Each structure stands twice: as structure tokens, then as C-alpha cells.
Structure 1
Amino acid sequence: MTTEQIQLVKGTVPVLREHGVLLTTHFYKRMFEHNPELKHVFNMGNQQNSKQQTALAMAVLAYAEHIENPSVLMHAVDHIGQKHTSLDIRPEHYAIVGQHLIASISEVLGDAASPELLDAWTLAYNQLAAIMSGHEQQLYDTQTAKKGGWTGWRPFIIKDKIKESAEITSFYLYPSDGGAVADYLPGQFISLRLFLPELNLLQPRQYSISCAPNGQYYRISVKREAGSQHPDGMISNRLHDAINPGDIVELTAPAGSFVLNRKTLSRKIFISGGVGQTPLLSMLEDIVDNPKEQQIPITWIHGCRSEQVHAFKDKIAEISVSYSRLDQHIFYENIPSERENFYQGRVELSLLKEEIISSQADYYICGPAPFITKHYEFLIEKGIPQHAIHFEEFGPASLQLN
């Protein structure tokens, strides 16, 4: 890109800051009208709740701001690339997206979208597409190089369905072809695809793997979205209501950058809300099962509405008996009686600050976006460095904390 073209792209930053979601909303509407087959690829629930439009607007803005040196965005590129490979996004999809993005810029900006500006954004988008698709090809290559690895959608059979609480049920997934199960990093997720008769669409959803790698199966633990007819909860509820042992579902290979840091044997502090404990449970089980890590101190902090909806409480209690360096603190909004290390209300790290604030610890937070933001900001205020705080937001990324 020429200096003039770079400046043209940077000149759109104020517009993207103010009207980015308007642009991306127009873009998705246009793309699905012209390429309705992509409705099978995208999570249509995230279209209705505007999460996808917001996430794309933030990504386009960040790229425009750093157009002179996009290498500083490699952390974001990897995060998005992990999501894309889990949805089987390929280079041909980038060509379709580019066509509709440039057309949307022209249609939304009107007379302000000069031919020179559109040419500059076309070059900028092609540069970004090359970066993204190149990185994603590396991720695909890594997946296929593993024993039992694959790309695209692979059929798995549900061999067991276990109710973990009043709201959460676990599904044990084995390859229907009898082949090997690709290994993964604790904390990663898989995409699962089902046909939704209500929408007449195939729909993918990401679910964290809730067990340590074992070479035999994947386990996902899914929360029922009570009374939800919104597309966001349709897959989860269909798993609860209509999918049973013996049924086949399709999965993509494990992906995700929210993973256990194995570079140090520092203390691990896991902080979760509701079903957000699922990736942390995979990390916890993996540490406990690894003889080399038996001396790592672990603090498990979890919050949910009540004991009835508290999944895996017996599993954590069992681990705490066999693993002496595990402490847990449980927060219930409705608590039946006073018990040691149980607290009334939502998770409040301030009640535990003397026990958990440490310069020699890694912090892992998973839950709804407000939950993550609250506890991230508390830890930062207490002097915990950003690099020691890891978090996972379910759905398209909307948080910019690191």
C-alpha cells in the first residue's frame, strides 16, 4: 500500500469508532441476502444479539488503527483464527466477505466513499485476508499433524449423557469411525454442529472441553437456557431435549488460545461463574493427573445461584481430598447454611484478597463479560500484572482488557 492509501484508511478511524456497528450490521445483512449459504456457517444467535456485528466492528477498527504495522495485532489474529478454524473457515470465504465489506463501505458512506478510498480499503482488506488465511492454514496444518487430527467436520457418537446439576448436562463424544482422538490443550473448545428445524439451518456452537485430555473422548458440559427460543440457546436446549446416547453430532478439531500456562509451576487461581467453570475444570483435572505438577498450589473460586445448579461440586470435593494443595471458595446467591469457605452472594474477590493476591500466581477467569471485567479490574487494582491474568469470554470477543 502507498503512503496515501494508508492515510486514506486511517482517515476512516473516526467514522469506524462512531458508526462501526452500523457498517457491520449492514455488511452482514447484505452478505446473507446475497450468500444465504453462509447462514449455515455463522452462529445466527450472535446475529440477533448483535455480538458478531460488534466484534467485527472492533476488529475492523483495530486493523485501521494499526494499518501501518498490523504485526502488533497477532494476538488478536490468533484468537480470531482459532475461532475461524473451529468453524472451518477457508480462503474462499474471505473472498466473499471482502466483496460485501467493500460494497458495504460504499453503500454506508455514500458520496464520502471515493474510488480512491474504496481502492485503499480493498488493498487493506486483501492484506488482512492474506495474514488471516495464512495463519489459519498453519493452525489447520498443526491439527492434521496430530495423531487422530483432522480438519473440517467429523462425525462423533454420543456414548453417554450425564446430568451434572439442575441446569448442566455432560455429553461424552467418541469418534464414530473408531479412530483416534486428537489431543488438545486444557482450556480449548470444540465446535459442534446440529441441524435446527426451527431455523431450517445447520448451526455451529462452541463448547469448552470440560475434561483433561485422555486419548479416548471429548466431554462437553452444556447449560440449558431455560425457556429460550432465541437462536442463541437453541443448540444447547436441543442437546438437552433431543440428543441422546447413540446419536451422531459433527465436531471440528479442538481450538482456542485460552489455555493452561505450562511455562511455570506457579500457583494457579481459577475464578469462574456458572458454566464458565468448564474450561477451568479441564485445566484442573490435567494438573491433578500430571505427576510433575503435583506440588502446584491451586485455588478454586466458583459462583452460581445455588447448590442445585452447582455442577461438579462432588468432583471438586473429591479432588480436594486427594490433592492436598487445592483450596476452594464457593459463592451461592442462595446459601442453605453457613459452611466453611462458602459465601452468600456473588463472587467477591475482596473477601479473599489476603489469600489470593500474589506476584507468583497465574489467574484464569471465565464467565459472562461483566463477571470477567469486574474481577480483571480488581486484580489490576491490586497490582497483578496483565500477563498473569488470562480470561475467556464465551461468544464473539467484545472485551478489550489486555
Structure 2
Amino acid sequence: MSAPLDDRTRAIISATVPALKAHGTAITTEMYKRLLSTPAIRDLFNLSHQQDGEQPKALALAVLCYAEHINDLGALGGMVERIAEKHVGLNILPEHYPYVAEALLGAIGHVLGDAATPEIAEAWGKAYWFLADILIGREKQIYEEHEDAPGGWAGWRAFRVRSRHNETSTIASFELAPVDGGALFRHKAGQYLSFKLDVPGHGSQRRNYSISSAPGADHYRISVRRQDDGVVSTWLHDTVKVGDQLQVANPAGDFFLDESSELPVVFLTAGVGLTPVISMLGALAQTSSSRKIRYVHGADTTALAAFRPEIEALVDRGVLTADFFYAKENAPVGRRGVAAHAGRVTAAWVTENLDRSATYYVCGPDSFMRDMVDALRAEKLAPEQIRYEFFGSASDPALVLSAA
């Protein structure tokens, strides 16, 4: 356990907050430029998030949050846990941390110039390694838990594509079974898999995809939306076939269903944000629980509402009720237990249909989640009743700090 940061160090870090607000993205952009010059480190990252600028923005936000809360680090518990889970999924190890330290401190000096005094460099060095030691310790725990669990493994494991199926014209599902034929780690419904992929013409790539199958199956299923100009999603859709092998890390992620609760649950999703929720619904459908479940999903059209037949089957079984919103076509006629709406899921609709006793699970584009989470918070729901997951590198402060 790292020794607590001394008062002087914390005061210096706090004093750098204005500079981070003004130059944070420039610092993290320079940091990644330095970090990614090392091939072994570059291969650990999703490079698409470098090209669109999302990763530097997200890291700049995380660094700023750290500095702003340096005197109240307990407020960062959720963010730290999320980073640790992400690192475990990508097989980040203790020996990788010195590279980041060198790149970050060098970037601070490069961007701030003479303003980056020796005192500031020393303080940020201490602050970095304080946080790094916390992450390394937590990641060690998670690695050991995974490796010791039935069906768990360390590092990368080869999986074979057992089947693939087009859910819609833009979302394809892939069932993955371990090549070694061994047992499969029981994931928590809502978690994701991390992949180390060798894409022809693009080299080594890292991606995370939510598991859309229920826990306890003899395979994992991922459901991937084709992204415009997406290197990996296009390759998966167009090239990967049954029998191909993919390198996969143990399931990870801190967004998952609380299976011990009997409280009502409402799922608010949009687009491909439904994938972790489909796993959660599968877990709920396996139980004899009498929990009240409502599934709310926004899609552009009925044809793009993935897994609708599965949802309707759960409605027919009395497991849940459902609301589908269609942004780009008139709503079709509803049916018993399934309501259809024209337009998008709005904060006003959520407020009008609020269940104050429910736990809300929210997943979709950042703007959608911000609207949903803001609406729920405005109604004074307890923080533990609002849980959400963002895909990619979220860069919204309100989402980053308190996702659960």
C-alpha cells in the first residue's frame, strides 16, 4: 500500500488544476505521442481512439478529476475500479507503468515549458506513482481472482468462432468457444471481453466487446455493430468466418447486473448499447425471480431493433414488459406487453414513467446516457439506483466520475 501523499504534494497538485483545464488535452496528446513510439506499448491500445481524439480527451479528463479530488480520493473509487477492470481486460502489467510515467511527466514539461517547475514535476511524479500503486494492487487481485476461478485464465486464450448470425443489417453476433475445450469462466451479466486481433494491413489491434450471451453458457457471444470506417468491426463483419480463431482475455468490467437484488429493474438502451443488457436479461430469465422488469430501447427503425424477437419471447413468458422507440419511422402497432413509440427515448418520457423503487441500467451513446442519467438524478434517485456503461473512451465529466 502506498504511503499517503503529503500535504505539500497535494497542494501543488491542486494548484495545477487551472493549467490542466487549459492544457490537459494537449498534455495527454503529447503523452500518447511519446508512449506510442514504443511498439510493445502501442499494441496495448485501441488506436482508433487516438485517431478520433477520444482517448487523449478521456485521459485528460481523468487526470483533471484526479487533481481536482486529490484531497478526497474516495470520490474516485468508481473511476479507479473502472480503469483497473479495463487494464485487466487489456492485460496491462506492472512493467508497463514506468513507460506511462515517463511519457506523462515528459509531456507535462513539454507543454507547460518553464511553468513546469521542478517542484511540479516532483509532485506529479509522486501523485502518478501513488495512483499507479493502487491500480497495480487492484489489478493483481482481479488477475488472481480470474485465474483461480473455475474456467478462468491468465493472459490471452484462443477461442474459435463457433457460429455467426446477423441480428440486423449493421449488427452481427459471433459465438465463441475455447479452442482447448476447457471450462468457461462464468462472467457477470453486463461484462465485456477484450480481444487481441491481427487485422491484415492494420497489424495488432485491441478492442472490447460486451458479452451478449447469458452467464453459464458453454460459449460467449459478442454482438458487434459495423462502424463507418471501423477497421476491426468491418473486418469482423466482412472477413471473420466460422472456424476462425481469436485471442481473448478473461471477462472484465464493473457494469453488471446485481443478481442478488429483488428490486424492480428498468433497462434504458439505445443502438448497440443493448448488448450488455441482453446478457442481463438472459441472466434474469434463468431465475424464478418475480422482479418487475421493464426494457426500453431506442432504434432508428424496426429493422434495426436487434434482438426484438428474443425480447418479445420474454414478454410472452411474462418475464418483462417492453417499450420500443423508433426515431426514423412511424411506430408499428403494439402488442400485449410491447409498446411502440415514434421518436427517441426522451428525458421527459423517462420522468413521466419513473419507477422510484427501480434500479436503472443505462447504456448507449454518451449523449443518450447523459440525458437519461441527468433525468434520473433530477428525480433524486439514489446513486446506487443509476448504473451505466459507456462504450469507447467517454469524455463527459458527469459520466466519467460516477458511472456504476
TM bucket by the smaller chain?
Answer: over 0.9
- Residue aligning to 1:30: 34
Q: CA offsets per residue over residues 290-329 of structure 1, 9 Å max, x none?
A: 12x2x1111111111111112111111111111x141111
- Residue aligning to 2:137: 134
Q: CA–CA distance in 2 between the matches of 1:58 and 1:111?
A: 23
Q: CA–CA distance in 1 between the matches of 2:365 and 2:7?
A: 42
Q: CA–CA distance in 1 between the matches of 2:201 and 2:126?
A: 40
Q: CA–CA distance in 1 between the matches of 2:82 and 2:394?
A: 9
- The answer for unaligned runs of 5 or more in structure 1 is none
Task: Check the 8 A contact 1:182/1:215 in 2, yes or no.
Answer: no
Residues 351 and 217 of structure 1: CA distance in aligned 2, closer, same or farther (over 3 Å)? same
Task: Check the 8 A contact 1:180/1:215 in 2, yes or no.
Answer: no
Query: Of the candidates 262, 287, 294, which is equivalent to residue 299 of structure 1?
Result: 294
Q: CA–CA distance in 1 between the matches of 2:89 and 2:269?
A: 24
Query: Of the candidates 172, 179, 184, which is equivalent to residue 182 of structure 2?
Result: 179
Query: How far off is 1:156 after superposition?
Result: 0.3
Task: Check the 8 A contact 1:164/1:170 in 2, yes or no.
Answer: yes
Q: CA–CA distance in 1 between the matches of 2:76 and 2:383?
A: 17
Q: CA offsets per residue over residues 88-144 of structure 1, 9 Å max, x none?
A: 000111111001111111111111122222112111111111011111111111111
- Residue aligning to 2:304: 309
Q: CA–CA distance in 2 between the matches of 1:161 and 1:318?
A: 21
Q: CA offsets per residue over residues 210-254 of structure 1, 9 Å max, x none?
A: 0111241100011112xx33xxx2111111100000000011000
The letter of the residue matching 1:105 is I
- Residue aligning to 1:207: 209
- The answer for unaligned runs of 5 or more in structure 2 is none
The letter of the residue matching 1:100 is A
- Residue 102 of structure 1 aligns to a residue whose secondary structure is helix
- Residue aligning to 1:321: 316
The letter of the residue matching 2:348 is S
Q: CA offsets per residue over residues 173-211 of structure 1, 9 Å max, x none?
A: 000111111011100000122112232x21111111001
Of the structure 1 ranges 139-148 and 257-266, higher mean CA displacement relative to structure 2 is found in 257-266
Q: CA–CA distance in 2 between the matches of 1:352 and 1:115?
A: 52
TM-score by length of 1: 0.94
Query: Of the candidates 87, 90, 93, which is equivalent to residue 87 of structure 1?
Result: 90
The letter of the residue matching 1:270 is F
Query: Of the candidates 380, 383, 387, which is equivalent to residue 380 of structure 2?
Result: 383
Matched ranges for 1:1-400 at <5 A: 1-33=5-37, 35-199=38-202, 201-225=203-227, 228-229=228-229, 233-291=230-288, 293=289, 295-322=290-317, 324-335=318-329, 338-340=332-334, 341-351=339-349, 353-354=351-352, 356-400=353-397
Of the structure 1 ranges 86-95 and 116-125, higher mean CA displacement relative to structure 2 is found in 116-125
Identity of aligned residues (%): 37
Aligned length: 391
Task: Check the 8 A contact 1:335/1:343 in 2, yes or no.
Answer: no
Q: CA offsets per residue over residues 45-95 of structure 1, 9 Å max, x none?
A: 000111111111111112222334434322111011111100000011111
Query: How far off is 1:345 after superposition?
Result: 1.2
Q: CA–CA distance in 1 between the matches of 2:105 and 2:310?
A: 52
Q: CA–CA distance in 2 between the matches of 1:275 and 1:191?
A: 17
Q: CA–CA distance in 1 between the matches of 2:73 and 2:330?
A: 53
Q: CA–CA distance in 2 between the matches of 1:114 and 1:197?
A: 45
TM-score by length of 2: 0.93
Residues 106 and 313 of structure 1: CA distance in aligned 2, closer, same or farther (over 3 Å)? same
Query: How well do the aligned residues superpose, as a CA RMSD in angstroms?
Result: 1.5
